Structure 1
Amino acid sequence: MDDGAAHEPEEWVVLLHTPGPGVDGPIFGDPRFAHHRAFLQSMAERGWLVAAGPFGDAGAEGMTVLRVRGPGAAAEAKRLAEADQSVTQGLLTVRVRPWRVVSQAEPATS
């Protein structure tokens, strides 16, 4: 948990995904969903992916949290999220929100 010490707020990015217009039924078995998994893998390879997954009570709606760093990184994350082929092909829509993180838990040590 936050130890109360002053930390510089960080700018993260939250991606809110919902099924695209006209998408009925499960999206996880749709062949286009492989594009979304590839997008998430690319975010992990950049070191940006914090967490991603569907909401437990909202069917196919989900959220991705990206910890981006450096000038222009948030804009690049937005560009890449909108270029995710599962989005461009209409399986998902994405809403990109900047998130100013002012408090966070310290990583656990084992």
Structure 2
Amino acid sequence: MSPHTERRGGAAWALVITSVAGFMAALDNLVVTTALPSIREDLGGALHDLEWTVSAYTLTFAVLLMFGAALGDRFGRRRLFIVGLTVFTASSAAAALAPGIDALIAARAVQGAGAAVM
């Protein structure tokens, strides 16, 4: 196998992995928006709490996106991708296990930060 073929295969895998991660980050908002009635039933909270459940993720993602890109340039894209993916996954688990609406909102904010770095 030539080095050129190996490089093309590595680039294809990088594209697949980053595409799946980007899809996960985008899909997360759709899933939570769809689940808002169940979240309200299980965790309680007023309408503004449910708005913050969605907005906490969106705001931290939007605010930290350029900062995450700058960190990737400075410390290495692969390293920051793995850090962002780890933070995103851990905060997804924390959101799934949240005992109340406030914990869910906090986990969603951290999840947005992980998605921005990812």
What range is the shorter-chain TM-score in?
0.3 to 0.5
For the pair shown, the structure with the greater C-alpha radius of gyration is 2
The TM-score with structure 1 as length reference comes to: 0.34
TM-score by length of 2: 0.32
Please identify which structure carries the higher strand content.
Answer: 1
